[in-house]
Each structure stands twice: as structure tokens, then as C-alpha cells.
Amino acid sequence: MTEVTVSIKNRAGIHARPAALIVQTASKFASSIWLEKGSDRINAKSIMGIITLGASYGTPVRIIADGKDEEAATTAIQALFESRFEED
């Protein structure tokens, strides 16, 4: 299991477009991938789950992956957060 904590850097937070990017990226990997905000854990391959997470600017989010490509999965999703979902 691989875990990394990131902060949401784009001002709009996670809305439909960033959620779609996360799902598209997560779906490329065989590993199980989750996003955690506080006590809420959702499947990173579920667009509705990500949107209902309600993660806004500055919110810390943990990326958790478990499987054969877990390190690549966490790195790829972390890169989306670091790039502000290519919005800024």
C-alpha cells in the first residue's frame, strides 16, 4: 500500500473537470485507488464519489493505492494535484 498527502491548489477545488481527470488517470491502473478527506474515503475511479467529497481549495487529501502498480498510480494522481488540474 502506498499513501501520499496532497493539498488542493486550484482555487475552484475539485469540481466536475478535475474529478473527470482523476477518474481517467486512476482508471489506467490496475490498483485499487482511494482519496481520503478527513474520515471520508472514496474510490478514485468513481466520478460521483469524487464530486461528493466536496474538497475545496487548500484541503488536504490522501491518495491511497494498493496493487501491483500502486506507486505509479499515486505518482500520476499526485501530479494532477500538483499541476492544479491544468486549470491555472
Give me the catalytic one of 15, 37, 41, 62. 15
Taking the C-alpha atoms of residue 20 and residue 47, their distance in angstroms, rounded to an integer, is 6
Q: How far is CA 29 from CA 1, 7, 15, in A?
A: 14, 22, 22
Contact 5, 60 (CB under 8 A): yes
Would residue 15 show up in a list of annotated catalytic residues for this protein?
Answer: yes
Active site residues: 15
